[in-house]
Amino acid sequence: MSDRKLHFETLQIHGGYHVDASQARGIAIHPTAAYHFPTCDYAANLFTLSEAGYIYTRLHNPTTAAYEERVAALYGGVGALATSAGMSAILLTITALANAGQNIVASPYLYGGTHNQFVISLRNVGIECRLAKSDSPEDMAALIDENTRALFVESMGNPTCRVADIEALAKVAHSNNIPLIVDNTFGAGGYLCNPFEWGADIITDSATKWINGHGTAMGGIIVDGGTFDWGCGKFPAIDGPSEGYHGLNLYEAFGSQAFIVKCRVDGMRDFGCCPSPFDAYLMMLGLETLSLRVKHEVESAYKLAEFCRNHPKVERVSFVGFEDHPSHELAKKYYKFGASAVLTIELKGTLESTVKFVESLKLSGNMTMIGDSISVVTHPASTTHKQLSDEAKRAAGITPTLLRISLGLENVEDIIADYEQALANL
């Protein structure tokens, strides 16, 4: 049976799982840096990309390959590349598409680390990031010119939980012969949201979050949908002679998988941001229970959001599952259950009283984390978005009393009771 015919819950266990000669049920961990070459001709073929195989774990590893195959199957993509962190997945993606003097257009509703990578680090190597006034198709289209090489959005903004109109943005990107990149971290490995179903071309994901699900490993992943026409004339590094491989044309050689091959054989080769085989193994373990965990966490998010909405010391609750959220209709369209496991609240009071609330919680971790088995409360103004200017914070929806909440696997009644006692201390 084809992977595409299997349900998500089945693929999260069987994708990338192949019984080897040992007949072991578990995926083997291959803690190796290098691999034997049976002959010099075989080695030469590997290095010219004319034969598949393993050269060096920076590029490929059997454990990591099984993990990549599983994620690609979950998304229905043609291939995936695991990286050491979500930020490195974004870096490899952008640098595979844009050169110095070129630009990308991005939504302003970004995770703080992504914002800094785009407006500082990429700028310092000559790639401009143009942040739109909003993530509307009109505002993003207005910034595209002949040097634009991609549109970039988060399927659900971090921490505002604003949902991007993926289908409309894909039409904007494709009308300009550029790919739409979607950071789908809040989409939980494709279980809650699969941007490929709505026209996206490339997905990045911080696997540290819901894919791993237990806060035990760092990782990112790039997934290639295999649908973009790299022969449109704007991407000579993909559809043109490769300087690093004696003039090989990746698009001619690898067809729909050309982009993910480019990220591996150039990006991973040169930047080296690979995961360890053990971390890839932990990601595969996390994937086996992904749907069960996320469903529980979304249900808990609804209950906690309702509690907060009715509490007199809470000024505002922002949860896409509620009809009054600006992205409610888009969440119903793009997200399973019409919501994620994350919400934000703004407390009545000041920065100081908000900090007191966070420090009074006994069960929820005060961490910069989402998608963990532990419920987490994050104060973005002093953590994830601390480096941003006051103006940039306002543009991203960050206020001094804003808290981002990620529900874990606890019984939500215990979490609510913990919130009740912490709010009583204010």
* pLDDT score of 197 more than 60: yes
| Tokens standing for residue 205 | 């994901």
Lowest mean pLDDT among 154-168, 289-303, 391-405, 406-420: 391-405
Mean pLDDT throughout 42-59?
Answer: 95
pLDDT for position 299: 98
pTM (two decimals): 0.94
pLDDT for position 5: 82
pLDDT tens-place string over residues 357-385? 999 999 999 998 999 999 999 998 787 66
* pLDDT score of 3 more than 60: no
Lowest mean pLDDT among 160-164, 180-184, 259-263: 160-164
pLDDT band per the 50, 70, 90 thresholds, residue 1: very low
- Please give the mean pLDDT across all residues of the chain: 94
Report which residue type is found at 385. Answer: H
* pLDDT score of 388 more than 80: no
pLDDT for position 146: 98
- Name, in order, each residue with C-beta under 8 angstroms of 184's C-beta and a sequence gap of 6 or more: 154, 155, 190, 193, 194, 195, 203, 204, 205
pLDDT for position 280: 98
Going along the chain from its start, the domains and CATH numbers come out as: 3-286 (3.40.640.10), 291-424 (3.90.1150.10)
- Name, in order, each residue with C-beta under 8 angstroms of 144's C-beta and a sequence gap of 6 or more: 105, 151, 172, 176, 178
Q: Vertex 196, ends 195 and 198: CA angle to 5°?
A: 70
| Tokens standing for residue 6 | 């299997």
Mean pLDDT throughout 39-44?
Answer: 96
CA 109 to the chain's CA centroid: 14
* pLDDT score of 396 more than 80: no
* pLDDT score of 393 more than 90: no
Percent of the chain with pLDDT over 90: 88
pLDDT tens-place string over residues 338-350? 999 999 999 999 9
* pLDDT score of 99 more than 70: yes
Cis peptide before 62 (omega within 30 of 0): no
pLDDT for position 403: 95
| Tokens standing for residue 354 | 């908000």
pLDDT band per the 50, 70, 90 thresholds, residue 4: low
Q: Which residues of 197-231 are buried (b: 16+ CB within 10 A; e: fewer)?
A: ebbbbbbbbbbbbbbbbbbebbbbbbbbbbbbebe
Partner residues linked to 222 by β-bridges: 81, 204
pLDDT band per the 50, 70, 90 thresholds, residue 19: confident
Mean pLDDT throughout 65-90?
Answer: 97
pLDDT for position 112: 86
Write down the H helix ranges in 288-336. Answer: 290-309, 328-334
